[in-house]
C-alpha cells in the first residue's frame, strides 16, 4: 500500500476525488469522495486555501484538475 506519511508523523490518507479524479488528502475535505475544490464548487463547503508547488497543492494534494461538470458550470 502506498500510504503517505508526513515527516511530523501525522498520517495522511490519500484518496481519489470522484469528480475531478485528482488525489487528495482525505482529512482536508469534509466530503467522503470529493476533494476540497469540488466540494466547494458543487456544495459550497470550505475550500482548501491551495498552495501549489510542482503542480500539487501542499495542503490537500489536489493536482489542479477540474471536472467536466465544473468546467461547464464556469463557462
Ligand atoms: Zn475534485
Ligand atoms: Zn489545496
Q: Tell me if 17 is assigned to some domain.
A: yes
The Å distance, Cα 73 to ligand 2 centre, comes to: 20
Domain extent at residue 41: 13-65
Higher pLDDT, 5 or 54: 54
Ligand number, closest to the Cα atom of 41: 1
Ligand number, closest to the Cα atom of 66: 1
- What separation in angstroms does the CA of 13 have from each of 33, 41, 70, 74? 12, 22, 25, 30
Ligand number, closest to the Cα atom of 69: 1
What does the alpha-carbon distance between residue 10 and residue 17 come to, in Å, rounded to a whole number?
A: 21
Judge whether residue 69 has pLDDT over 70. Answer: no
Q: How many folded domains does the chain comprise?
A: 1
Judge whether residue 40 has pLDDT over 70. Answer: yes
- What separation in angstroms does the CA of 52 have from each of 69, 72, 73, 75? 23, 24, 23, 24
Q: How confident is the model at residue 11 (pLDDT cuts 50, 70, 90)?
A: confident
When the pLDDT of each residue in the chain is averaged and rounded to a whole number, the result is 86
Q: Tell me if 20 is assigned to some domain.
A: yes
What does the alpha-carbon distance between residue 42 and residue 45 come to, in Å, rounded to a whole number?
A: 8
The residue among 54, 48, 19, 52 whose CA lies nearest residue 33 is 19
pTM for the whole structure: 0.76
Q: Tell me if 41 is assigned to some domain.
A: yes
Mean pLDDT over residues 6-16, rounded?
A: 75
Amino acid at each position: 500500500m502506498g500510504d503517505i506519511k508526513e515527516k511530523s508523523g501525522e498520517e495522511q490518507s490519500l484518496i481519489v476525488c470522484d469528480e475531478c479524479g485528482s488525489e487528495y488528502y482525505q482529512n482536508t475535505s469534509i466530503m467522503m469522495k470529493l476533494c476540497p475544490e469540488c466540494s466547494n464548487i458543487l456544495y459550497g463547503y470550505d475550500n482548501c486555501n491551495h498552495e501549489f508547488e510542482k503542480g500539487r497543492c501542499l495542503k490537500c494534494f489536489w493536482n489542479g484538475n477540474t471536472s467536466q461538470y465544473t468546467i461547464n458550470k464556469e463557462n
